[in-house]
């Protein structure tokens, strides 16, 4: 809040989200972010393209691309145009909100006009960055796809798109702050020349009502089980996980579960490894929380992420994490998980073997992970996000 303003009232936040709140992926992330902040002490006004899931806490919602049962079809309009339309509508609405909001929380592709309008009104804008810097993400994914010979399908979100890159880079430059959910994301922006004071850390969380460890433990005949859950593509590093698994001791008696859909050509490229009897491909699953409770390890050797929600959900469900530095997981190496450099299959395999052979170490990591899990719930994330808002407002005062 600015000098002379009433500091006793709640912080007033406009959260502008151009997609359909409550759907999957970032639409889930945004929903939980919004739902968590009122409990921390903020007053929330949400302007979203659409909203399909009611909030559990007091949140005022206005939709820009839907009215009642009427909705602008995103597929027909295209995501880029839909986001731009949302951005235009929010920017038009801002003058009527002058003096009624303290900060705007915006999302990529739907922020450019909003930022311009906010600057005229003196309202700071925090831009969410749910993945690494777009230019970095395009480049590392392209190189890995070329290295292993699996091209991205046309229109894939990580296939190079000049229009998207240009728009997002304009948003990055104009925003007052960029919200980074992990140190990895922050580093990709630092490496691109962004000043540290513009890069503000927050965090994501998990829903402890859905993701929780089994109460009775696992049966004595339970095989040592590792789980991968997510989109099966080179970006997520499943090929690293398979190679590491089949060179570790864990595959001799253990099971590697893969829950997710493969992009075209990727399963064919990995057909020999996927055919191993210790590997089970489950396809897309809706019971991921239950799969996590049945698993001992969760692996995510990504080459690029923001802060994968699935890693926190796995921790909440009792899994020990085996993740790359790029996964953005909230864990500490050798404290409550094991972390390896991107693409280091040898070390990842070693980590699998260590936990397979030293169950005392596995038990210690698991116990510490579960015990510290409440530090990464959405309730904790909401408190940290409110602090981030306050830091940005103070810096702009």
Half-sphere exposure of 105 (CA within 13 A, CB side): 30
Residues in the chain: 397
Q: Look at the alpha carbons of 374, 377, 379, 384 in this order and tell me if their dihedral is positive or negative.
A: positive
What is the Cα–Cα distance from 142 to 150, expressed in whole angstroms?
10
Which two tokens mark 299? 């692996």
Task: Specify the CATH number for 225-375; select among 3.40.50.11030, 3.20.20.100, 3.40.50.2000, 1.10.1270.20.
Answer: 3.40.50.2000
Place of tokens 């969410």: 128
pLDDT for res 71: 82
pLDDT for res 290: 97
Question: Of 46, 201, 38, nearest to 129 (Cα)?
Answer: 201
What does the angle CA 383 – CA 384 – CA 388 come to, to the nearest 5 degrees?
Answer: 120
pLDDT for res 219: 76
* Own/partner pairs, 391-396, CB within 8 angstroms, 24+ separation: 391/200, 392/103, 392/124, 392/126, 392/176, 392/177, 392/200, 393/1, 393/2, 393/11, 393/102, 393/103, 393/124, 395/176, 395/177, 395/197, 396/124, 396/176
Burial 170-185 (b: 16+ CB within 10 A, else e): ebbebbbbbbbbbebb
Say how many Å lie between the first and final Cα of the chain, rounded.
Answer: 7
Residue spans of the chain under pLDDT 50 = 1-4, 6
pLDDT for res 4: 41
Residues forming CATH 3.40.50.2000 domain(s) in the chain? 11-205+378-396, 225-375
Q: pTM of this prediction? A: 0.94
pLDDT for res 76: 81
pLDDT in tens, 334-367: 999 999 999 999 999 999 999 999 999 999 999 9
User: Is residue 283 packed enough to be buried (19+ CB in 10 Å), middle (13-18) or exposed (0-12)?
Assistant: exposed
List the alpha helices (DSSP H) in 235-344.
238-246, 266-269, 271-274, 288-294, 309-316
What does the angle CA 28 – CA 33 – CA 36 come to, to the nearest 5 degrees?
Answer: 120
What is the Cα–Cα distance from 1 to 7, expressed in whole angstroms?
7
User: Cβ(288)–Cβ(259) under 8 Å?
Assistant: yes
Task: Specify the CATH number for 11-205+378-396; select among 3.40.50.2000, 3.30.300.280, 3.40.640.10, 3.40.50.300.
Answer: 3.40.50.2000
């Amino acid at each position: 809040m600015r000098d002379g303003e009433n500091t006793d009232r709640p912080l007033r936040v406009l959260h502008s989200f151009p997609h359909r709140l409550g759907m999957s992926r970032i639409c889930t992330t945004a929903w939980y972010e919004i739902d968590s902040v009122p409990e921390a002490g903020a007053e929330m006004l949400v302007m979203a393209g659409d909203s399909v899931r009611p909030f559990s806490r007091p949140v005022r919602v206005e939709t820009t691309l839907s009215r009642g049962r009427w909705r602008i079809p995103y597929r027909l309009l295209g995501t880029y145009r839909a986001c731009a339309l949302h951005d235009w509508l929010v920017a038009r609405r801002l003058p009527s909100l002058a003096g009624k909001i303290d900060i705007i929380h915006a999302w990529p592709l739907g922020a450019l006009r909003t930022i311009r309008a906010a600057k005229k009104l003196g309202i700071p804008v925090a831009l969410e960055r749910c993945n690494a810097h777009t230019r970095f993400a395009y480049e590392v994914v392209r190189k890995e796809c070329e290295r292993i010979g699996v091209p991205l399908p046309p229109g894939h979100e990580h296939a190079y798109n000049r229009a998207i890159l240009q728009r997002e880079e304009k948003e990055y430059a104009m925003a007052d702050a960029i919200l980074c959910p992990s140190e990895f994301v922050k580093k990709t922006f630092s490496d691109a020349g962004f000043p540290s004071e513009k890069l503000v850390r927050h965090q994501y969380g998990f829903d402890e009502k859905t993701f929780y460890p089994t109460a009775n433990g696992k049966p004595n005949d339970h095989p040592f089980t590792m789980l991968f859950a997510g989109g099966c593509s080179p970006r997520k590093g499943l090929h690293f996980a398979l190679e590491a698994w089949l060179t570790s001791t864990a595959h001799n008696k253990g099971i590697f579960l893969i829950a997710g859909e493969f992009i075209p050509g990727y399963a064919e490229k990995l057909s020999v490894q996927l055919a191993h009897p210790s590997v089970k491909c489950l396809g897309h699953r809706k019971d991921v929380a239950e799969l996590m409770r049945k698993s001992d390890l969760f692996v995510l050797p990504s080459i690029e992420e923001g802060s994968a929600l699935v890693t926190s959900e796995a921790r909440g469900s009792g899994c020990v994490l085996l993740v790359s530095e790029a996964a953005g997981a909230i864990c500490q190496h050798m404290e409550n998980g094991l972390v390896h450099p991107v693409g280091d299959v040898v070390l990842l395999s070693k980590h699998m073997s260590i936990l397979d052979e030293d169950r005392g170490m596995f038990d210690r990591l698991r116990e510490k992970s579960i015990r510290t899990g409440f530090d990464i719930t959405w309730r904790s994330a909401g408190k940290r996000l409110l602090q981030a808002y306050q830091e940005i407002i103070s810096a702009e005062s």
